[in-house]
Amino acid sequence: MHAMKSTTTSPSVAWRYSTPAIVLHWVLAALIVFMAALGWWMMTVEHEPGGEQWIALHKSIGLIVFTLVLLRLLWRLFHKPAPLPAGLPRWQVLLSHATQVLMYGVMVVLPFTGTLGSAYSRLGLAFFGLPLHLVAAPDRPTAKQFFELHETLVWVLVALVVLHVLGGLKHLLVDKDEVFSRMWRARS
Ligand code: HEM
Ligand code: HEM
């Protein structure tokens, strides 16, 4: 059995994340890593024949990621997770919460900048071939500004995720507490 002592005040209070929160966490983690790899790779084949298809794929999957992030955020606003184990040092609680809030912020703004940059770009925005006309006309300097922000935010997210994963692994392998399993399986 897992240690219940410090996380709950009554047996009916859930100490794990809910199943939708867990599924969305891991599906989005995989999709975001995939999107970053695809983003960097497509930039290396951008000017080769067929290169535009990879950019189109990045946009289409990116719009799915964007939707899932908004769903996840909505779910999170109405489902507060149980408190962390009581014995954790205060700086670790603050650091993990700050990292998580910032990750949510970047997870929203990153696809947003990609979407708007694409809308203003020469190739335009499309979802698996379906054109989405968000703006009246392409505007290269505006598109460029959004893409510069997009590129910077990817690195901010990489830094946050590295910190986050190190924290998660510390709980799993060093502390050996229930923090990792909160986000792992819905049933014991
Ligand atoms: C979590 C989601 C996303 C991640 C991790 C991601 C990641 C990346 C990366 C790593 C690059 C290459 C940056 C560079 O080195 O210049 C890139 C470029 C790009 N992304 Fe995304 N992206 C995401 C979402 C989106 C979305 C939703 C769209 C549009 C619907 C989009 C459109 C683009 C475009 C058009 C480029 C090329 C920019 C250029 O030509 O300079 N991205 N993305
Ligand atoms: C792109 C990758 C990832 C992103 C963007 C991400 C994002 C997040 C966010 C925003 C939360 C807060 C959930 C909430 O309270 O609403 C969270 C929780 C969590 N994540 Fe990740 N995550 C990623 C990958 C990982 C990986 C690889 C691990 C494995 C170590 C992990 C382990 C955890 C754990 C254990 C929690 C629960 C922490 C707690 O109870 O406070 N995550 N993640």
Instruction: Spell out which residues line ligand 2, taking CB within 6 angstroms.
Output: 25, 29, 32-33, 76, 81, 84, 96, 100, 103-104, 107, 161, 164-165, 168-169, 179-180, 182-183
Q: Using most ligand atoms within 8 A of CB, pick from 44, 61, 154, 156 the residue to mutate for ligand 1.
A: 154
Tokens 């290169």, residue located: 51
Q: Does domain 19-182 have CATH number 1.20.950?
A: yes
In this structure, the chain runs to a length of 188
- CB contact set of 58 (below 8 Å; sequence gap of 6+): 35, 38, 39, 42, 114
pLDDT tens per residue across span 73-114: 999 999 999 889 999 999 999 999 999 999 999 999 999 999
pTM of whole model > 0.85? yes
pLDDT digits (tens, 9 = 90+) for 43-75: 999 999 999 999 999 999 999 999 999 999 999
What ranges do the domains of the chain cover?
19-182
